[in-house]
Structure 1
């Protein structure tokens, strides 16, 4: 490394060929390892997205019913839940990126998915036996956050090792479809199951996570890059941060998502909208409505991902990413102001669609602008930014709701996301000037 940049070129693909000659491949699904990878992604997201929705709803309900808290106090507990899930990410992200670069990535993914399986099982048992409390829910949320911090960098770094670089844009879109289908189906299914039996969503998550772990472990062995095997761990940690810091393009991609979603996230307050704001025929939409609301961003994103998997964005990718983030903020404002359940669902669909365009472009650019030797660490840093935007965004939303009310928190956050987009368009001209997905590091 010199001046934070790689001085040698690195391959984006693995040394083991896919089942068909690379020239004959037209879809990542023609690669057996990618199919296993996709199943692991889909089932893990189905499980965890549903689990997180129920966890938030239960925590809010326990705070209101068992602890006698008011709406603002209970909303603040949702913010604390986000903080509890973020702290393991903040502390362990450098370690998780290093682990992904020094060890077999599919093994790291599978083992940490097994840890998440145990968390889901404990939540199912605690719910079944009526043993829920705020300390227990916070502790299991922290354990879930710990498993996620290791799953993210390892799983994200696998795709470029098993998919040829020309198919990476399609692979990113198809991978995003798995994430979004899971994000859409998981909460909706969890909401229905929770109404039938509160422990059922966690039981299903336990089974799905076990299947996901099996899929990840079924991928062929991925040896770590040779240059990482004997390097000093502390030096490698510093190299990962230095690489991102000195590459303004990567820095702009990572921080755009960090600050836009940190301010514009509304999902942490959905339990408040479901229980105390949005109604149908004079009745609160409740857990059914919460499941539907949590599913709508996934629906919008899945529709866009399906389109992008067939017709990926190819031109003016940077400008389109910035526009999408601005639309994300505008739709957030619309959701915050809505008092009609159908309109609220539509705004959430638009939030998901805009976010999907941004995620697709940003993820592809980061993968193709990062050498394999540091991909785990860069993925970890990107994951930390996402965690900051999600979990700290939840904390910010909870605090803002305590001060401004839920509506004020969501509207002000959406406006903030629009301001961030404009600032990054000026401060990082490299982003708006990005024209194509040309790979920076090739074999």
Structure 2
């Protein structure tokens, strides 16, 4: 890169020919609608994580069983696994903001019911499982709607930046939520956590109602017809821009993104750190994800090839953590694991949003959520069984080998065969294929 002539104003033309100027790290936040959406979502995630911690604590108070805790957690993701693509189809057919507003109202009602039952000491295990199933059912619509709405709030050339910022703020909220929950539970019990979660949804609803429709970029809605779920699956299968990232998401979502299972096994059984060490490890990894988000927001080149490289690096870092001889070295490695995780996750979501036709976006993102979130229903027991059979380190190592392995396979496919996606900059002129 050359220096500008004296007294000459810098311009994009002064950059290296053929390369777009590096975007401002937080350029998407200049858009009013996106700022409102991000503020509301961040507030809600803090409340949601307070609820997650409180539900786990309440489950143990009711049953004193780790097995039952796993069942309660699985109930939250089971509907996404079974009904995810149908939820995406509903999003494709209806106004995205209206769907998202409806899901937030449902979440707020569910949280209010949790609050009342906990306050009145009427909570039972069956009721708790039903409420978790309600959350999971609502998530079948909320996940694709929330992801799709981002593309309607910002210009296309800022989509990658917007997704990375959203991931960064969410990970920051994940750092705050559990810590606040711990303080509140220690001082007042679980009920205030449920109450604060209820209030947090009001912030999201308010932000959605304040969006200026005239400044949005609504996608074309899909007309009702037969076979639209099969059409979406076939569309992904025959679109390499979507298929390769989706395969990587499914493999890593099932085997790698099982840190709630593999991390406590590693810290407590292999590194003998106890629950305090597990909490510190989660915090360190979340901090790394936040730091990684600040790097991801400045990326302006994404491709299937770069995503596969991200998977390889992420997997190698996980393997290094699994083999760390001491807790201190594992903690250092976990910072980089967290950073690599957000790089992979935000890049995969961006590629699928850019590669999907607008009228297919909800279903494509719902297929993504089945692998990334619903895969926990399958992956968590598998990773747990690996740890129980071959040792705690093997559970963590399984995730690392899976990520690195699928990354190497996809890298070979796009390098040796006709590449579906070159390493192109994310420009406003990019267009989608029609289904």
Asked if the contact 2:104/2:201 (under 8 Å) is kept, the reply is yes
1:41 equivalent in structure 2:
41
3-state SS of the aligned residue for 2:227? helix
1:409 to 2:401 alignment = no
Render the CA deviation track for 1:180-232: whole Å, top value 9, x for unaligned.
Answer: 2222222232233333333133332222122122212332447965562x431
Alignment of 1:263-274 (within 5 A): 263-269=255-261, 270=263
Render the CA deviation track for 1:377-436: whole Å, top value 9, x for unaligned.
Answer: 212112222123444333333343444454432233322332222223234553785443
Calculate the aligned-residue CA RMSD, in Å: 3.2
1:436 equivalent in structure 2:
425
Q: What is the alpha-carbon distance in structure 1 between the residues aligned to residue 303 and residue 196 of structure 2?
A: 39
Alignment of 1:32-431 (within 5 A): 32-59=32-59, 62-63=62-63, 65=64, 74=66, 76-131=67-122, 133-199=124-190, 200-221=192-213, 225-226=219-220, 228=222, 230-232=223-225, 234-269=226-261, 270=263, 284-286=274-276, 290-309=278-297, 311-314=298-301, 317-337=303-323, 340-429=326-415, 430=419
Asked if the contact 1:262/1:390 (under 8 Å) is kept, the reply is yes
Asked if the contact 1:97/1:377 (under 8 Å) is kept, the reply is yes
Q: 1:133 to 1:333 in 2, by over 3 A?
A: farther
Aligned-residue offset at 1:277: 6.9
Q: What is the alpha-carbon distance in structure 1 between the residues aligned to residue 59 and residue 387 of structure 2?
A: 16
Aligned-residue offset at 1:171: 1.5
Asked if the contact 2:36/2:207 (under 8 Å) is kept, the reply is yes
Mark the runs of 5 or more structure 1 residues left unpaired by the alignment: 1-25, 68-73
Q: What is the alpha-carbon distance in structure 2 between the residues aligned to residue 140 and residue 302 of structure 1?
A: 30
Q: What is the alpha-carbon distance in structure 2 between the residues aligned to residue 205 and residue 271 of structure 1?
A: 26
Does 251-260 or 197-206 show the bigger shift?
A: 197-206
Q: What is the alpha-carbon distance in structure 2 between the residues aligned to residue 327 and residue 61 of structure 1?
A: 40
Asked if the contact 1:29/1:35 (under 8 Å) is kept, the reply is yes
Q: 1:83 to 1:399 in 2, by over 3 A?
A: farther
Q: 1:186 to 1:277 in 2, by over 3 A?
A: farther
Q: What is the alpha-carbon distance in structure 1 between the residues aligned to residue 324 and residue 239 of structure 2?
A: 41
Q: 1:353 to 1:431 in 2, by over 3 A?
A: farther
Q: What is the alpha-carbon distance in structure 1 between the residues aligned to residue 291 and residue 175 of structure 2?
A: 11
Q: What is the alpha-carbon distance in structure 2 between the residues aligned to residue 273 and residue 197 of structure 1?
A: 31
Render the CA deviation track for 1:94-149: whole Å, top value 9, x for unaligned.
Answer: 22112211211111112111222233333344444555554343322222212222
TM-score, with structure 2 as normaliser = 0.80
Q: What is the alpha-carbon distance in structure 2 between the residues aligned to residue 123 and residue 47 of structure 1?
A: 13
Asked if the contact 1:187/1:294 (under 8 Å) is kept, the reply is no
Asked if the contact 1:82/1:395 (under 8 Å) is kept, the reply is no
Q: 1:136 to 1:268 in 2, by over 3 A?
A: farther
Asked if the contact 2:232/2:364 (under 8 Å) is kept, the reply is yes
Mark the runs of 5 or more structure 2 residues left unpaired by the alignment: 1-25
